[in-house]
Amino acid sequence: GPRFSALPARDGSQPAPALSFEFFPPRTEALEQQLWACIRRLEPLAPRFVSVTYGAGGSTQERTHATVARIVRETSLTPAAHLTCVGASRGEVDDVARAYWDAGIRHIVALRGDVPGGGAYQPHPQGYAYAADLVAGLKRIADFEISVAAYPEMHPAAASPQADLDNLRRKLDAGANRAITQYFFEAETYLRFIDRCLAAGITAPIVPGIMPVSNFAQAVKFSAMCGARVPAWLGHLFAGLEEDAETRRMVAVVVAAELVRLLQANGVDEFHFYTLNRPDLVYAIAHILGAHARPAAG
- Does the footprint of ligand FAD cover residue 114 (CB under 6 A)? yes
Burial class (CB in 10 A: 0-12, 13-18, 19+), 106: middle
Q: Is 158 in the site for ligand FAD (CB under 6 A)?
A: yes
Closest among 109, 13, 41 to 277, alpha carbons compared: 41
Q: Which stretch binds ligand FAD (CB under 6 A): 52-60, 189-197, 233-241, 250-258?
A: 52-60
Among 67-75, 161-169, 217-225, 253-261, the segment contacting ligand FAD (CB under 6 A): 161-169
CA angle, residues 17, 179, 276, in degrees to nearest 5: 70
**Element containing residue 250 per DSSP (H, E):** helix 245-265
Identify the CA nearest to 295 among candidates 97, 41, 45, 31. 45
Least separation, in Å, of the C-beta of 122 and ligand FAD? Answer: 12
Q: Does 224 bind ligand FAD (CB under 6 A)?
A: no
Nearer to ligand FAD, 13 or 160 (CB): 160
Identify whether 32 is a catalytic site residue: no
Residues 278 and 42: their CA atoms lie apart, in Å, by 10
- The answer to whether 227 and 154 are in contact (CB under 8 A) is yes
Q: Are 10 and 38 in contact (CB under 8 A)?
A: no
Whichever of 67 and 182 has its CB closer to ligand FAD, that residue is: 182
* Out of 50, 88, 164, 176, the residue judged to bind ligand FAD by CB under 6 A: 164
Positions annotated as catalytic residues are 22
Binding residues for ligand FAD (CB under 6 A): 53-54, 56, 82, 84, 109, 111-114, 130-131, 149, 155, 157-158, 163-164, 167, 171, 180, 182, 209
